Structure 1
Amino acid sequence: MRLSIASDHAGFDQKQALVGYLAERGHEVADRGPADDGRVDYPDFAEKVARDVADGAADLGILVCGTGIGMAVAANKVDGIRAVNVVRPDFAALAREHNDANVLTLSGRFVSLEENEAIVDAFLSTAFGGGRHAGRVAKIHDLERKR
């Protein structure tokens, strides 16, 4: 799977670890920054990953900041993105199955690396369920057109 990943300074250490974790599992990982843990603005990095996913350069995206909340807010401003901030593996699976979420945002400060790895595994291993959920996702897409 082609993945795009980025963080801000608060999520940098976990992002670095996740890049290796994902590459070891055979994924093609585009690290969109930052290159170190110096202070940066999370919207800049959320946009890079969101655009990779929206433009088809990546199948899915992963963003890490202090809570994951700011990254989700910023990424969701890009048309076609359904970013979800997740702190439990079962929520990650449901976000993919029910909402066809395409960007996962994680907390680098309040969730352990091991738990985030489990969340990422659930996100990447769950497919969109379609069926009754497809109409709901289409309605979400229609909201973008009303902007």
Structure 2
Amino acid sequence: MKLAIGNDHVGFELKPIIVDYLKELGHEVQDFGAYSSERTDYPLYGKKVAEEVASGNVDAGILICGTGVGISIAANKVKGIRAVVCSEPYSAKLSKEHNNTNVVAFGSRVVGSELAKMIVKEWLKATFEGGRHVKRVEMMQQMEK
């Protein structure tokens, strides 16, 4: 898969660990910043990654900030994005299976690197189940109009 990743200054230290892990799994990764631990604003990076996903330039996105909450809210402002913030793998897996999420976010102040890897792994290997969940995803898409 071709993946976009973005972070604010708080997620800067965790990002290279996740990028290396994604590459080990065989994924192509595009980094949309931030590129230092200098204070910055998470909406900038949530938007950049979300726009790449929504445009189809990448298959999915991964976002990191302090909690994952702010950056996921920013990403969800972009039409076509269904971003989820997760602190454990089970919710990540079900978010893809039931909600067809296309961006996952987590917080570097909430999860350590090994738990972040587990979240990413479960989310990436999960697939949308369709069926009864299609109607609900379509309802969310209608809300964007």
| Global fold match (TM > 0.5) | yes
Q: Map 1:1-147 onto structure 2 (within 5 A).
A: 1-145=1-145
CA distance, structure 2, for counterparts of residue 44 and residue 28 of structure 1: 22
Give the AA of the match of 1:102: N
Question: Normalized against structure 2, the TM-score is what?
Answer: 0.98
Give the AA of the match of 1:141: Q
What SS does structure 2 have at the residue aligned with 1:111? coil
For structure 1, the 5+ residue unaligned runs are: none
For structure 2, the 5+ residue unaligned runs are: none
Give a deviation string over 1:118-140, Cα, whole Å, max 9, x none: 00000000000000001100000
CA distance, structure 1, for counterparts of residue 142 and residue 94 of structure 2: 21
- Cα RMSD between the aligned structures? 0.6
What SS does structure 2 have at the residue aligned with 1:109? coil
CA distance, structure 2, for counterparts of residue 70 and residue 44 of structure 1: 11
Q: Which stretches of structure 1, 4 residues or more, deviate above 6 A after TM superposition? A: none
What SS does structure 2 have at the residue aligned with 1:13? coil
Aligned residues: 145
